[in-house]
């Protein structure tokens, strides 16, 4: 029986009168690459912030590695790594090398391990010649790469990537895709969000669609095209994009005729 790395039950989060998560349920199997997609404001980032324990939730339960996040958060987070969409808040006045050293020390790695792993990560992400440059001087793509390196340094078992392809050049996108496949081979679990649905369909084993704070669809990628979209004709979906548009009701809002002044 395959175990779940993540179990979320009836999660609720409100910001004033706005309900960001509404009785959300989500299960992610161990050892897979899992995609979480949804329109802007659907609750993706709120969900991730709850999973990584930087946002309190009003009701519900989160279990990671079979442990309750509310009581065993520190032990859980030692085995996790999270990349957030916004990399502007990195320690800007550390160099890339100093940032990795700092991260490694936080996770209790010994000096030799930090040096060895930092060197390989800097080399892989083509940051070796920028290791002594302040992060404040890094481009958006370089910041994304040093952030990726930092979350992988302690070799976590559960990796969360929020819009990881944003700002990356084509070569680094390929490198990241290859890295994700390697992580899966090592039986790591990856949760990834992206607005680039073709990447999600190509890379992930399973996907969930979140809309208005709820999971409205979850399926293995291998079974996507067997989902029936028309009960009369027995017509099936052709792509993840079709399912996404259908479930998030964006098709009817695409009133391009209103732009007749262009």
Gap between the Cα atoms of 32 and 191, Å rounded: 8
| pLDDT, average across residues 220-237 | 72
The answer to the question of residue 124 being in a domain is no
Q: Note whether residue 210 is domain-resident.
A: yes
Q: Flag whether pLDDT at 99 surpasses 60.
A: yes
Inform me whether the pLDDT recorded for 234 exceeds 90: no
**Residue 21 pLDDT grade (very low, low, confident, very high; cuts 50, 70, 90):** very high
- The CA-based dihedral angle spanning residues 136, 138, 140, 142, taken in that order and rounded to the nearest 10 degrees: -130
Does 146 map to a domain? no
Q: What is the mean pLDDT of residues 28-50?
A: 94
Query: Quick one: pLDDT at residue 231?
Result: 58
Q: What pLDDT does residue 1 have?
A: 55
Q: What is the pLDDT of residue 4?
A: 93
Q: Is residue 14 assigned to a domain?
A: yes
Can you give the pLDDT at residue 253?
55
- 112 within a domain of the structure (yes/no): no
d(CA 64, CA 75): 10
**Alpha carbon distances (Å) from 27 to 12, 63, 147, 152, 191:** 16, 10, 26, 23, 11
Residue pLDDT, tens place only, 186-228: 999 999 999 889 999 999 999 999 999 999 999 998 887 777 5
Residue 238 covered by a domain:
yes
The residue with greater pLDDT, 147 or 238, is: 147
What residue numbers bound the domain in which 203 lies? 1-79+158-168+194-253
Per-residue pLDDT, 254: 59
Structure-token match 């940032």, residue found: 99
Which two structure tokens, joined as six digits, stand for 46?
């709120």
The pLDDT value given to residue 2: 67
Give the separation between CA 88 and CA 132, rounded to whole angstroms: 19
Given this model, what pLDDT does residue 187 score?
A: 94
Judge whether residue 251 has pLDDT over 60.
no
The tens digit of pLDDT for each residue in 170-181 reads 999 999 999 999
- The CATH code of the domain that includes 217 is 3.40.50.300
Mean pLDDT, to the nearest integer, of 7-33? 95
Highest mean pLDDT among 109-113, 162-166, 221-225: 109-113
Kindly state whether residue 180 falls inside one of the protein's structural domains: no
Q: Indicate the pLDDT class of residue 262, thresholds 50, 70 and 90.
A: confident
pLDDT at 89: 74
Under 8 Å between Cβ of 161 and 83? yes
Say whether pLDDT at 252 is over 80: no
**First CA to last CA distance, the chain:** 57
As for how many domains the chain has, the answer is: 1
Whether 260 maps to a domain, the answer reads no
């Amino acid at each position: 029986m395959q175990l779940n790395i993540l179990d979320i039950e009836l999660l609720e989060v409100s910001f004033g009168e706005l309900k960001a998560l509404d009785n959300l349920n989500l299960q992610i199997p161990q050892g897979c690459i899992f995609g979480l997609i949804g329109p802007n404001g659907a609750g993706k980032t709120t969900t991730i912030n709850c999973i990584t324990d930087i946002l309190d939730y009003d009701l519900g339960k989160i279990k990671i590695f079979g442990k309750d996040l509310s009581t065993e958060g520190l032990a859980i987070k030692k085995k996790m790594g999270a990349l957030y969409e916004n990399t502007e808040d990195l320690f800007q006045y550390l160099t890339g090398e100093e940032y990795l050293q700092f991260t490694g020390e936080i996770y209790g790695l010994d000096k030799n391990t930090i040096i060895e792993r930092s060197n390989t990560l800097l080399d892989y992400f083509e940051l070796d010649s920028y290791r002594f440059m302040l992060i404040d001087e890094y481009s958006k793509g370089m910041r994304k790469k040093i952030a990726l390196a930092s979350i992988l340094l302690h070799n976590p078992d559960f990796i969360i990537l929020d819009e990881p392809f944003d700002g990356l050049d084509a070569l680094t996108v390929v490198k990241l895709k290859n890295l994700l496949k390697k992580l899966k081979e090592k039986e790591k679990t990856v949760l990834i969000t992206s607005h680039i649905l073709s990447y999600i369909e190509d890379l992930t084993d399973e996907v969930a669609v979140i809309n208005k704070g709820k999971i409205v669809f979850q399926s293995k990628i291998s079974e996507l095209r067997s989902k029936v979209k028309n009960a009369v004709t027995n017509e099936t979906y052709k792509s993840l994009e079709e399912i996404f548009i259908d479930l998030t009701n964006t098709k009817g809002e695409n009133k391009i005729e209103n732009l007749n002044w262009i």
